[in-house]
Amino acid sequence: MATFSSVRILFFVFITSGIAVSATVFTLQNSCPYTVWPGILSGNSNTLGDGGFPLAPGASQQLTAPPGWSGRFWARTGCNFDSSGNGNCVTGDCGGVLKCIGGGVPPTTLAEFTVGSGVSGKDFYDVSLVDGYNVEMGIKPQGGGSGDCKYAGCVADVNSVCPSELRIMDPRTGIIAACKSACAAFNSPEFCCTGAHATPQTCSPTHYSAVFKNACPSAYSYAYDDATSTFTCSGSNYLITFCPTRL
């Protein structure tokens, strides 16, 4: 994954009940050869980046999240918006608007976070393919965090190994735009981990989830893929890269 010496790590301090706690800075970097439109869904009232914006090739943008923030980031591709922010995207569309107020339509590669609160609070983060895959994505902790601050990501082109029954084609180009999850494709309990398959004991990896796991070993491949796919770090900022080129 490329490092970016020009990225300046910013620290913001909030004083809560007499305890200094640091906000978390997310830097979104587009290393794809095309524009992406990051979508952002916040799990609380602290919406980051107005929910979404365009990010040209080579561009980056910093967003600051308060302690306790949770949410997800994803890339929208093939978007076309008018001057009012209305339009649509080939992948990751969030209701036909530039500024997302909900999640993206699968399949999308997701970067998921729960930011810790308090001085020693842990951040939890992962890259998930549970909702499918559209672009490569990487999460790199930055700024001297403590704990098991590992790189998380999916740097392989999963579209190139996507089974034909899971493919989403780009109607403009005729090439594979994304790879659906088996749950989205077949809507059956064994693939969705629902019904009689709603526990870790009864929902096992499938040959479809193995396609994702083999391509991206550190990413979530199905709902109960926690052991190898959830990462923790304390006091860090994070670089989220679309189409990372190297670790």
pLDDT in tens, 191-247: 999 999 999 999 999 999 999 999 999 999 988 887 778 999 998 999 999 999 744
Distance CA 95, CA 87 (A): 9
Find where tokens 């200094």 sit.
Answer: 20
Q: Look at residue 117 and give its three-state secondary structure.
A: coil
Q: Outline where the chain has alpha helix (H).
A: 182-186, 189-192, 207-215
Average the pLDDT over each of 16-30, 88-102, 140-154, 188-202 and give the range with the smallest value: 16-30
pLDDT band at 119 (very low <50, low <70, confident <90, very high): low
Tell me: the pLDDT tens digits for 51-97? 999 999 999 999 999 999 999 999 999 999 999 999 999 999 999 99
Flag whether pLDDT at 132 surpasses 80. yes
Question: Going edge to edge, which strands form the sheet with 152-154?
Answer: 60-65, 24-30, 237-242, 137-142, 152-154
What is the average per-residue pLDDT within 154-170? 95
Flag whether pLDDT at 137 surpasses 50. yes
**Domains of the chain as residue ranges with CATH:** 13-242 (2.60.110.10)
pLDDT, position 121: 82
Instruction: Specify the pTM.
Output: 0.87
pLDDT top residue among 64 and 120? 64
Q: Which residues pair with 124 in a beta bridge?
A: 114, 232
